[in-house]
Amino acid sequence: MLDHSATMGRYYQQPRISQVQAARKTMFRKAAFVFVWLVVFVIPWENGVVIHGFGTITRLAAIPAVGMALLAILESGRLRTLAAQHFIMLSFFIWASLTYFWSFDPSATAASIYTFFQLFVMVWLVWEFAQTRTEQLLLMRAYTAGATVSSVAALIGFFTATGLGDNGRYTGLNFNAGDLAFILALAIPMSLYLVTQERRKILVWFAGLSTVLAFCGIILTASRGSLVACIPTAVVLPFLFPKLRWGRNLVIVTFISLAGIGAWLFMPKSSWTRLSTIGSEISSGTLNERTLIWQTGWQIFGQTPFQGVGSEAFASTAEHALGVASRKDTDMGVGGARLAAHNTFFSILLEEGAIGFTLFSMLLVTLILSTWGLPAIDRTFWLCILATWAIGALDLTWEDRKPTWFIFALLISVAATKLAPRARRWAGSPAVVHEPPLYSESPSYPG
């Protein structure tokens, strides 16, 4: 009788133990995702809080995110298999690291190796803890909310006359005007995408307000490259209207109109004056002396076409070639200031050579191809985001910037989420759905 009771006790105790273990796994994963969300949220305004001798607030947020992520992995005993794009990323990062052995500036390359390591950790965090549509939308909200912080900071700087830089352009939170503008430019298609996806009206209106503030922030910075990068968003919107209900179309049109009216009425004349020179700079100007730097870059590329001069070593190489002293306390220019390639693709070609450029191009191609399996609305917006990044990257050196790799990481996760049920069907296993359908061509949005 005692043996029978003990057996029955173990029988009923085992399900309770399994439930406790499942609850612990869920708790750890949710906690890890919260910290990942915080990391994404602070990325668009990370320069606003810099701890001396430590770094930006993003690094501070990343420490508990990584720690909790490791605890969640240890608790579950499972690690998600990486996608093909991750291995291409790793190949690019490894090649960039190998350039240390022939780098013209080994100390700068060593610093870039650490940066690329941190970036891949961020990519992995997104991959591991944003596996559902809900989690992916939450990370989009995090980025747009963070961009709103930067937009508000720029507007406060304008209205209080504290955000005017030496070059006559407004900025905020210690950002370079061009970098801040591009951060906001990437947030605009995300915000508009959220307008089409959110089901709670307050979130719809917040996403629309984020669009207005981001556009006004771009005008304040007077960044011509980032304004041009907004063109894909303007182009794709008319094609989306037939796929959405009239209520959402009205919301989108309302906020786009508010963005244009607000920028026209309240933004300074100096910003519009600079932005009006886009055509003349492209046709007959030097793009703020960038063409002179690119000519020097081509000469350097001819000397090391395959292996490059070393990751992050272009500045030292170009300054040496031109006989210019390196000074990091001023903005870009040929006259004695720190030089930069000011073109992400050109920078990769010069620093990582043709091999690194090929790997990065392969990554971009696979990212574009991954959108083909998404529904029409999702595919359109992701192609729009990639086009926005590509245009903006023509004017900035952003191969080692967090927003770049966050966008890449999120797209990989979104594509994998959409393809997972299809892969299970191919394998003959039923697709188990734990939440509402991942994507819908015609979602039933509230009016």
The whole model's pTM is what?
A: 0.87
- Close Cβ partners of 46 (under 8 Å, ≥ 6 residues apart): 56, 57, 58, 402
Average pLDDT over residues 249-264: 83
Identity of the residue numbered 166 = D
pLDDT score for 186: 97
pLDDT band at 325 (very low <50, low <70, confident <90, very high): low
Q: Is residue 295 pLDDT above 50, yes or no?
A: yes
Q: Is residue 409 pLDDT above 80, yes or no?
A: yes
Percent of the chain with pLDDT over 70: 84
pLDDT band at 445 (very low <50, low <70, confident <90, very high): very low
Both ends of the chain: CA-CA distance in Å?
A: 65
pLDDT score for 17: 60
pLDDT score for 390: 97
How far apart are alpha carbons 172 and 33 in whole angstroms? Answer: 29
Q: Is residue 220 pLDDT above 90, yes or no?
A: yes
Identity of the residue numbered 163 = G
Q: Is residue 92 pLDDT above 50, yes or no?
A: yes
How far apart are alpha carbons 237 and 404 in whole angstroms? Answer: 23
Residue written as token pair 């803890």:
129
- In the beta sheet, which residues pair with residue 55? 51
Q: Which of 27, 18, 104, 37 is nearest to 72 (CA)?
A: 27
179 near 218, Cβ under 8 Å? Answer: no
pLDDT in tens, 127-163: 999 999 999 999 999 999 999 999 999 999 999 988 8
Q: Is residue 439 pLDDT above 50, yes or no?
A: no
Q: What crossing angle do the helices spanning 133-159 and 177-197 adopt, rounded to 10°? A: 130
Q: Across all residues in the chain, what is the average pLDDT?
A: 85
How far apart are alpha carbons 389 and 288 in whole angstroms? Answer: 21
How far apart are alpha carbons 115 and 122 in whole angstroms? Answer: 11
Distances (CA, A) of 251 to 207, 335, 420: 10, 48, 33
pLDDT score for 1: 46
Half-sphere exposure of 195 (CA within 13 A, CB side): 31
Q: Is residue 436 pLDDT above 60, yes or no?
A: no
pLDDT score for 252: 81
Q: Which of 323, 318, 369 is nearest to 343 (CA)?
A: 318
Helix (H, G, I), strand (E, B) or coil at 160: coil
Half-sphere exposure of 325 (CA within 13 A, CB side): 4
- In the beta sheet, which residues pair with residue 164? 170
Identity of the residue numbered 386 = L
Q: What is the DSSP string of 411-436?
A: HHHHHHHHHHHHHHHHTT-PPP-SSS
